[in-house]
Amino acid sequence: MILFPYRAQIRLHKWPVTTIAISLLCLVIYLAQAQSESRVDAYTEAFCAQADEGRPAAGFTWWRGYKLSCAEAMWHTYYSPDPAAHAEWHVQDMERNGQSEAAQRYRALFVAYLARAPALLTAKLWHDRSNFNPWRMLTSSVAHASWEHVIFNLIFFFAFAAAVELVLGPVLFLAVFVLLALAIGSFDLQISRWVEDPRPSLGLSGVVMGMLALFVYFLPRAKIRFAFWFLLSLGTFAAPGWLVAAWYVGWDLLYQVSYGRSYVNYVAHLAGAAFGLAIGLAVFRSKRHWAKELVEEKLDLTQDEGWLTKLNFIAASSAILPVIFIIGLVVLVLIIKFVNSFGLQLLLMSPVIASIWQIYRMKRPERPDWQRYQQGMAAILDHRFEEALKYLRPLADQNYPRALCAIGRLHAGGTGTCRDEAKAIGYFRRAAERNHAEAQYALGAMYADGRGVEKNPATAAEWYEKAAVHGMPEAAMSLAHLYENGRGEKDKEQAIEWYHRAAFGFKKAGRPDDAESALRSMESLATNNPEVLGLVAGLRETLVLAKK
């Protein structure tokens, strides 16, 4: 099975130029590495073809009984931070195992090989984990070991880094990239003190994990699109960012604990995730509340929420996320142990399981609640209000949020039934407490106007804010109006912020006139604030381009 993420399920309102530039740089650098390795490979084959007095050089019995050809032995020794020291270590090991004659022949061959071997570009880029070299920490992050290595790293990198760049901007994003590379390299340097003969490190993986951690910090509820290929099945699906992070960090942690020596540097992966989260918490707290307005898609309030959406909402809470993360790791370890024990049986049974699931989906009935709600709304549009209540009231008795909100609007407007604003408040409140954005907005308006309840701007602001956070720019606009009428400087700042959010929301919803209205209100409050006026001008320019 092949599974990989290819993009975040968000709208990118501008090109992530730095992310693209880094990706192109990695490709260009590896192209140069591949050409360098081809030259070394050609030289090695020619050298070993006529190394022992004009005859092809024989191979060697290597460490722990491995048998290597001459070319393999030369390549292995040359591909190390200190080839001469590495060759001497093998000579001493061979002598200890009673291969003195082979050891001397190997030494002579490698000295002759090293004298004329072409320079290996990769060796000039990788990070020798036993030495502190900040420049190599940076170059190793954009160098790779194979075409598969670089391509898959860049797929993962773009999936997470493009959104992070959109939140931070290109300059801050580049600074974070450099900081992650240096932090991962420095941590790796300390860990290598406890590793015998640490291998050099290269690749973007550590930085990718750092970008994944930042993505989850900024947008825990945003989803990542995955492509998969299993047997004859091809397709895509989306998973919440927090779940993706838990999955990859959990696997890296398991591999690091299970395998002491590996060609994959899991320490760099785990360090990247840890440093990415630490950078977000320490430096970019003020950026987090802007992130959703910048890149996250507006919630679709026309669809019912399943259990996975509700779980996603709970897990996105900063208070419960660590607990969910720990539980997820435990569950992941148990799943891995189960798969390791019954992997073959699961593989053989997978086509049968997939067929049963498809049959179940074909026979599964449509959601009756959603159908009745749609019938009730259709009756309201046709002014058949009594019939609409027959559909909606049973749903409201089950606390179905959309039905509660619909009945609340009937009572609030006095449409098709006796006007009863107190009842409307009750229905709106029940729906609002279940995170229904339209009901939260309506309840805020009732408190702001004093309809059916005592006028209370503070309570109105609370409900407006909840609705705005759930994707309603109208609520952000109303909240900004409340703060604009406040008397303090802090109220003015809050009004500017919520006008800004409203403008972004209207823009994403394709309502440029409403966005322009929010910008004018924001502009009138910030006549002496160049920074805010710059934001207004930038957003207004994007609105003009969108109209074109």
**pLDDT band for position 418 (50/70/90)?**
low
pTM of the model: 0.55
> How far apart, in whole angstroms, are the C-alpha atoms of residue 57 and residue 94?
17
What pLDDT does residue 305 have?
43
What pLDDT does residue 176 have?
94
What pLDDT does residue 198 have?
65
Q: What is the pLDDT of residues 112-170, one digit of tens each?
A: 999 899 999 998 998 887 788 899 999 999 999 888 889 989 988 988 898 888 888 88
**pLDDT band for position 310 (50/70/90)?**
very low
**pLDDT band for position 223 (50/70/90)?**
confident
* Residue given tokens 């004018």 in the structure block: 520
Q: What is the pLDDT of residues 48-94, one digit of tens each?
A: 887 766 566 777 877 666 788 888 888 888 888 889 888 898 888 88
What one-character DSSP code corresponds to residue 223?
Answer: E
Residue 201 has pLDDT above 70, yes or no: yes
Residue 263 has pLDDT above 80, yes or no: no
Residue 32 has pLDDT above 90, yes or no: yes
Residue 308 has pLDDT above 90, yes or no: no
Alpha helices, DSSP H only, in 80-146?
83-96, 100-116, 121-125, 134-141
Mean pLDDT of all residues belonging to the chain: 79
**pLDDT band for position 314 (50/70/90)?**
very low
| Residue of 324, 8, 318, 344 lying closest to 157 (CA atoms) | 8
* Residue given tokens 């080839």 in the structure block: 83
Residue 548 has a CB neighbour count (10 Å cut-off) of: 5
- Answer yes or no: are the C-beta atoms of 437 and 299 closer than 8 Å: yes
Most confident of 94-98, 361-365, 465-469, 510-514: 465-469
Most confident of 65-69, 207-211, 230-234, 351-355: 207-211
**pLDDT band for position 492 (50/70/90)?**
confident
In sequence order, the 6+-apart residues with CB closer than 8 A to the CB of 414 are none
What's the rounded mean pLDDT across residues 310-323?
48
- Own/partner contacts of 282-285, CB < 8 Å, gap of 24 or more, are 284/167, 284/168, 284/214, 284/217, 284/218
Query: Tokens for 483?
Result: 């703060």
> How far apart, in whole angstroms, are the C-alpha atoms of residue 173 and residue 58?
52
What's the rounded mean pLDDT across residues 286-292?
65
> How far apart, in whole angstroms, are the C-alpha atoms of residue 412 and residue 428?
10
Residue 306 has pLDDT above 70, yes or no: no
- Residues, the chain: 548
| Residue of 225, 180, 176, 228 lying closest to 205 (CA atoms) | 180
> How far apart, in whole angstroms, are the C-alpha atoms of residue 209 and residue 147?
20
Query: Tokens for 219?
Result: 């947008």
Query: Tokens for 156?
Result: 């993962």
Residue 303 has pLDDT above 60, yes or no: no
Torsion angle in degrees (nearest 10) through CA of 364, 369, 374, 379: 130
Residue 329 has pLDDT above 70, yes or no: no
> How far apart, in whole angstroms, are the C-alpha atoms of residue 114 and residue 51?
13
**pLDDT band for position 319 (50/70/90)?**
very low
Query: Tokens for 155?
Result: 């797929």
Residue 533 has pLDDT above 70, yes or no: yes
**pLDDT band for position 313 (50/70/90)?**
very low
What's the rounded mean pLDDT across residues 297-303?
40
Residue 532 has pLDDT above 70, yes or no: no
What pLDDT does residue 56 have?
66
Residue 364 has pLDDT above 60, yes or no: no
236 sits in which H/E element: strand 233-240
Write the single-letter amino acid at 396: A
